[in-house]
Structure 1
Amino acid sequence: METGTIRVVAALIRDAAGRVLLVRKRGTSAFMQPGGKRDPGEDDVAALAREIAEELGCRMVRDSIQPLGEFDAVAANEPGWRVHACLYGIDVTGDIVPNREIDAMIWIDPAAPPDILLAPLTRDHVLPLACRPSMA
């Protein structure tokens, strides 16, 4: 039984080699994009900047923000729920260090992901998008 939709902002962060950064939250098993829910009164950019700082300890480069679309998928960690994500390609500055609820992070080749559990949003939408020639 479906209970609702969780609305989030999510970041597609790539390194110089084109790998994509994924994170896994404490107490969960699926890797996904960094990001999260908006606080009351926040727009997407403010929410994403806050989440990146909280989760990864680095700063979003404001000039780098590129809207990549809105996507829906089954929620990875909330059974019966769906997630609606506004996805943005961003660059970050500073050291990337898992903070707060982030238990692990990994850089992966979007065209050849390792054998790890991926959130449906990441698996079905973000990685295929990251493989497009225009995204390389």
Structure 2
Amino acid sequence: MNPRIVVSAVCVFDDAGRLLTVRKRGTDKFMHPGGKPEPGETAAQAASRELEEEVGISVAPGDLVPFGRWLADAANEAATQIEATVFTAPTLINAPGSWTAHPSAEIAEIRWLDLSGELPDDLAPLLTDHVLPLLAAQADRRG
């Protein structure tokens, strides 16, 4: 059995409906902001902390909305799985503009992903195998 890493991640959307993705220093795959919980942290607390540390977006743990929990191949560690709890950040209602994100900590680059366009081939398996198909299915039901 492959080793497993527990992580929390957050889907953040801008006012154009684009999804925030990040690339960690020394890696080539884009993924959600997020990371491993510290001892005693809940999944939401870890997601909130990592979101602020990695991209400077502050969302209280209680304001994050549970989106799903999946097992996926780790993007940057061979023969390893992640057990990911994914949340969505609340939309910015009655606020001008969008979230302002900037790379911090171990993040080398951020990219806002247009979900209506062709998807790049440098996305993490959690995104391609689980999150993006669910987001597409939700959009189809709304559409």
- TM-score scaled by structure 1? 0.88
Distance 2:10 2:67 in 1: 9
Q: Which runs of 5+ in 1 are unaligned?
A: none
Identity of aligned residues (%): 39
Amino acid at match of 1:49: S
Once the two structures are TM-superposed, the CA of residue 96 in structure 1 deviates from its matched residue by 1.2
Amino acid at match of 1:38: P
Q: Which runs of 5+ in 2 are unaligned?
A: 93-98
Once the two structures are TM-superposed, the CA of residue 46 in structure 1 deviates from its matched residue by 1.3
Question: Cα deviations across residues 47-99 of structure 1 (Å, max 9, x unaligned)?
Answer: 11110111011201556421111011111111010011001011388631110
1:104 aligns with 2:116: no
Q: How many residue pairs were aligned?
A: 135
Change (3 A) 1:75 1:95: same
Identify the residue that residue 44 of structure 1 maps to in structure 2: 43
**8 Å CA contact 1:111, 1:127 repeated in 2:** no
Distance 2:104 2:142 in 1: 28
Q: Which has the higher strand share?
A: 1
Runs of 4+ in 1 over 6 A off after TM superposition: none
> Of 107, 118, 125, which residue of structure 1 is paired with 2:123?
118
Question: CA RMSD for the aligned pairs?
Answer: 2.1
Change (3 A) 1:108 1:64: same
Alignment of 1:1-136 (within 5 A): 2-62=1-61, 64-91=63-90, 95-131=100-136, 132-133=138-139
Aligned residue for 1:60, secondary structure, equals coil
Once the two structures are TM-superposed, the CA of residue 16 in structure 1 deviates from its matched residue by 1.2
Change (3 A) 1:72 1:100: same
- TM-score scaled by structure 2? 0.84
**8 Å CA contact 1:61, 1:92 repeated in 2:** no
